Amino acid sequence: MTFWQKLFGRQLDLADESDEMNDATRFLIVGLGNPGRKYRGNRHNIGFMTVDALAAAYNIQSSKVQNKAIVGNGRIQNQSVIIAKPQTYMNSSGDAVGLLARYYKVPPDNVLVVYDELDLPFGTIRLREKGGAGGHNGMKSIINHLGNDFPRVRLGIDRPPGQMPAAAYVLQDFGKNDKPLLDDVLAEAIRAIETYLRDDIQLAMSRHNRSLIDD
């Protein structure tokens, strides 16, 4: 049993109750990042980390490459869910997301995108119902394919120190000292996704938009 399965064991049990599942609605949960081993621990890949943790918590196998993304199909909070990590590199994420949304016939308001946010302190989570890209190139690409009206989970990674360029900062790995807070962020992001799937984006925003550093 993985760390995430232990942490979310009760939710995993619920996910296995297939007789109560609702297949009428399908959701696409997308984590943004760059593919490849050298990017795995980067701040820019916190979206990938989130969907990896979500897949582990719910025992969803996500190894199939389809429509320019690694995808997995499963059930979370009584909903049919596709988990995806675009393999296009960050700036072309919309190519994969657009293909997946069309292939699975998922409307934009059922596409939830998880990504890094420079303008939020590390440890801060902000969900939004819709909006612009805020300078994030991966989000710009997705908006070009889906428009603005899709929900998102923004995970703060803080601004770069000193005069370091943002492009270099986001491609640095999280430090060892960051790991405890990073694990807390990923766990809270999973809880936010669960609330979104079980209830709606408004309740998820009300319950989970917060800084974990203040707790």
Band of residue 8 on the pLDDT scale cut at 50, 70, 90: confident
Do residues 55 and 64 lie in contact, with contact meaning Cβ atoms separated by under 8 Å? no
Threshold 0.85, pTM exceeds: yes
Average pLDDT over residues 4-17: 57
Statement: residue 22 has pLDDT above 60 = no
Q: Which helix (H) or strand (E) holds 28?
A: strand 22-31
Task: Tell me how far CA of residue 174 lies from CA of 3, 182, 193, in angstroms.
Answer: 19, 8, 23
Task: Tell me how far CA of residue 188 lies from CA of 11, 30, 54, 138, in angstroms.
Answer: 14, 16, 11, 22
Statement: residue 152 has pLDDT above 50 = yes
Band of residue 16 on the pLDDT scale cut at 50, 70, 90: very low
CA angle 39, 31, 131 (to 5 degrees): 120
Quote the CA–CA distance of 143 and 139 in Å, as a whole number.
Answer: 6
Quote the CA–CA distance of 37 and 184 in Å, as a whole number.
Answer: 23
The sign of the dihedral angle between the CA atoms of 145, 149, 153, 156 is positive
Statement: residue 89 has pLDDT above 60 = yes
Among candidate residues 44, 136, 145, 208, the one labeled active-site is 44
Per-residue pLDDT at 9: 65
Active site residue 136: no
Statement: residue 18 has pLDDT above 50 = no
Statement: residue 24 has pLDDT above 90 = no
In the chain, the domains with their CATH numbers are 33-214 (3.40.50.1470)
Band of residue 14 on the pLDDT scale cut at 50, 70, 90: very low
